[in-house]
C-alpha cells in the first residue's frame, strides 16, 4: 500500500465514524443509498473549504498541505495523536512537530507509573513537558543529596527548578555546574518555553530562572543552544551508589551537611511515551570515578 492509498483509507474510515448531526449538519433525506458518517462535502463545509480542496487531500493529490490545514482536518475528524501522526506521515512524509492537544505531555498512562515503580537497581523517572515529575522509583530518590540519619527524600518536584535554582544542586551535587549542567539545562528550558508558550509552569520557571543572579545570565545568553539530553554524560555525586564499579568506590563528603557520596559520570538515556508527546522517560546510567 502506498501513502496515497493509506491516506485515503485513514480519512474515509474517520469520516465514516462521525454522525453529521454531531457537527450540527442535518441528516440527509430522500431516496438512494447513504454511506454512514460524513461525506466529503460535509467535511469540506466544516473546514470552510471547497469540496474539491478537501477531495484533493483525501485522494493524496494535494502536493504540500499546510500544517494548519492538516490540524484542522484532525480536529474535524477527531483524530487521536497516533492517527494525526499517521496523517502527517502519509500527507507530508514526516511527523507533526508539536502535539495537537495543548495538554499533551502533562500526564502518562497508569501502566507507566507501575512500570517505573517496579524498576530496581537503576534510577529512572518520567517528567512532563515542564519537568514536573510524573513517576519515579526509589533508586531515583537515592541520587539526591542526603542528610545522615534521615531517609532519602525528593528535594523538589520540578527538576528544572532544582537543577538551576537550588544550592544543593549548584554547589554540591551537580559537579562543574556552570559548564556541564547550567548551559544545556537552560537551553532545554528556553526551547520548552518557545514550544509551549501557554504552559503556566514553564512561564513560572522562565520568570524564576530569568531573575536568578546565577542562572539568569546563563539562561539569557545567546550562545546557549538546545541539545537533546539523550546520550549526554555529565559529572555528579551519587549518595545512594552502593556498588564498587569497575574502578572501586571513592565515597567522600561534599560538605559537612550532606552524607558521603560517590562522584562519577551519569549518562541520560531518554525516550518518549508515544501517547504523551513531550513527556520524557529517563534511565540514568551511573559510572563511578576511578579510585
pLDDT tens per residue, range 110-155: 999 899 999 999 999 999 999 999 999 999 999 999 888 888 899 9
Model confidence pLDDT, tens digit, residues 63-85: 889 999 999 999 999 998 889 99
pLDDT score recorded for residue 264: 95
pLDDT greater at residue 225 or residue 30: 225
Structure-model confidence comparison of residues 34 and 60, the more confident one = 60
In CATH, the architecture of 110-288 is 2-Layer Sandwich (3.30)
Architecture of the domain delimited by 3-92: Orthogonal Bundle (1.10)
Per residue, the 3-state secondary structure of the chain, as one string, reads CCHHHHHHHHHHHHHCCCCHHHHCCCCCCCCCCCCCCCCHHHHHHHHCCCHHHHHHHHCCCCCCCCHHHHHHHHHHCCCCHHHHHHHHHHHHCCCCCCCCCCCCCCCCCHHHHHHHHCCCCCCEEEECCCCEEEEECHHHHCCCCCCCCCCCCCCCCEHHHHHHHCHHHHHHHECCHHHHHHHHHHHHHHHHHHHCCCCHHHHHHHHHHHHCCCHHHHHHCCCCCCCCCCCCEEEEEECCCCCCCCCCCCCECCCCCCCCEEEEEEEEEEECCCCCECEEEEEEEEEECCC
Average pLDDT, the chain: 89
> In the chain, what are the domain boundaries?
3-92, 110-288
Question: What pLDDT is attached to residue 255?
Answer: 87
Amino acid at each position: 500500500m502506498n501513502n496515497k492509498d493509506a491516506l485515503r483509507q485513514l480519512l474515509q474510515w474517520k469520516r465514516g465514524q462521525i454522525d453529521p448531526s454531531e457537527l450540527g449538519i442535518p441528516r440527509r433525506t430522500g431516496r438512494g443509498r447513504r454511506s454512514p458518517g460524513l461525506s466529503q462535502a460535509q467535511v469540506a463545509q466544516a473546514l470552510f473549504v471547497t469540496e474539491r480542496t478537501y477531495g484533493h487531500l483525501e485522494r493524496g493529490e494535494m502536493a504540500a498541505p499546510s500544517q494548519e490545514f492538516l490540524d484542522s482536518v484532525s480536529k474535524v475528524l477527531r483524530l487521536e495523536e497516533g492517527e494525526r501522526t499517521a496523517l502527517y506521515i502519509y500527507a507530508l512524509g514526516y511527523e507533526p512537530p508539536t502535539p495537537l492537544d495543548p495538554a499533551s505531555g502533562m500526564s502518562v498512562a497508569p501502566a507507566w507509573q507501575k512500570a517505573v515503580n517496579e524498576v530496581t537497581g537503576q534510577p529512572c523517572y518520567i517528567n512532563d513537558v515542564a519537568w514536573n515529575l510524573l513517576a519515579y522509583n526509589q533508586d531515583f530518590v537515592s541520587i539526591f543529596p542526603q542528610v545522615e540519619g534521615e531517609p532519602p527524600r525528593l528535594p523538589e518536584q520540578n527538576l528544572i527548578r532544582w537543577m538551576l535554582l537550588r544550592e544543593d544542586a549548584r554547589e554540591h551535587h551537580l559537579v562543574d555546574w556552570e559548564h556541564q549542567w547550567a548551559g544545556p539545562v537552560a537551553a532545554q528550558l528556553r526551547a520548552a518555553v518557545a514550544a509551549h508558550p501557554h504552559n503556566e509552569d514553564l512561564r513560572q520557571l522562565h520568570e524564576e530562572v530569568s531573575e536568578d543572579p546565577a542562572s539568569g545570565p546563563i539562561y539569557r545568553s545567546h550562545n546557549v543552544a538546545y541539545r537533546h539530553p539523550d546520550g549526554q554524560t555529565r559529572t555528579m555525586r551519587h549518595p545512594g551508589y552502593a556498588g564498587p564499579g569497575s574502578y572501586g568506590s571513592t565515597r567522600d563528603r561534599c560538605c559537612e551537611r550532606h552524607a558521603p557520596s560517590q562522584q562519577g559520570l551519569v549518562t541520560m538515556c531518554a525516550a518518549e511515551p508515544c501517547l504523551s508527546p513531550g513527556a520524557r522517560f529517563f534511565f540514568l546510567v551511573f559510572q563511578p570515578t576511578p579510585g
